[in-house]
Chains A and B, each alone.
Chain A
Amino acid sequence: MRYLVPTVFFALFVIWYLTFLARRLDRLHLRVDNSWANLDVLLQKRASVALEIAHSDIADPASSLLLTGAAYQARDASIQHRSNAESGLSGALGLLLEDSRHLATAADSQLLTELSALTDKIRVAIAIHTDAVSRSQMLRRKYVVRTFRLAGNAPLPVTYEFEADVL
Chain B
Amino acid sequence: MLSKLLKIGIVCPYSWDTPGGVGNHVRDLAEYLIAQGHDVSVLAPASEDAILPSYVVNAGKPISIPYNGAVARILFGPVAYSRVRNWIAEGNFDLLHLHEPAIPSISLLACWAAEGPMVGTFHAAAKHQKIIFAIGPILEPAIEKLSARIAVSEAARLTLTDHLDTDAVVIPNGIYASRYTHGSPQSKWQGNTIGFIGRFEESRKGLRVLIDALPVISRFAPDVKVFVAGPGDPEEAIKSIDPQLRARFEFLGKISESDKADFMTSVALYVAPNTGGESFGIIVAEALAGGACVVASDIPAFDDLLGHGQYGALFESENSTELAKVIIDLLRNQDKRIELAKSGKDHAQLFDWSVVAEQIYSVYEMAMVGGSKVRVAQDSRSWSRFLSREEKP
| Residue positions of A touching B, CB distance < 8 A | 20, 23-24, 27-28, 30-31, 33-35, 37-38, 41, 120-121, 124-125, 127-128, 130-131, 134-135, 138
Contact = CB atoms under 8 A, between A and B. Distances in A.
A109 to B, nearest CB: 17
Given A30-B370, A37-B369, A121-B362, A127 B378 contact: no
A31 B147 contact: yes
A139 to B, nearest CB: 8
A35 B119 CA distance: 13
Contact of B362 (A24, A28, A30, A124): A124
Contact of A24 (B141, B148, B149, B169): B141
A64 B82 CA distance: 60
Contacts of B147: 31, 34-35, 128
B145 interface: yes
The 8 closest A-B pairs by CB, nearest first: A34-B370, A38-B369, A131-B167, A34-B369, A128-B148, A124-B169, A38-B366, A127-B169
Given A24-B141, A24-B144, A121-B362, A37 B370 contact: yes
Mostly, the A contact residues are helix
22 contacts: A20-B141, A20-B379, A24-B141, A24-B144, A27-B144, A28-B144, A30-B370, A33-B370, A34-B147, A34-B370, A35-B147, A35-B369, A38-B366, A120-B359, A121-B362, A124-B148, A124-B362, A128-B148, A128-B367, A130-B167, A131-B166, A134-B167
Contacts of A124: 148, 169, 362-363, 366
Contacts of A134: 167
A131 B165 CA distance: 9
A140 to B, nearest CB: 13
B236 to A, nearest CB: 45
A84 to B, nearest CB: 23
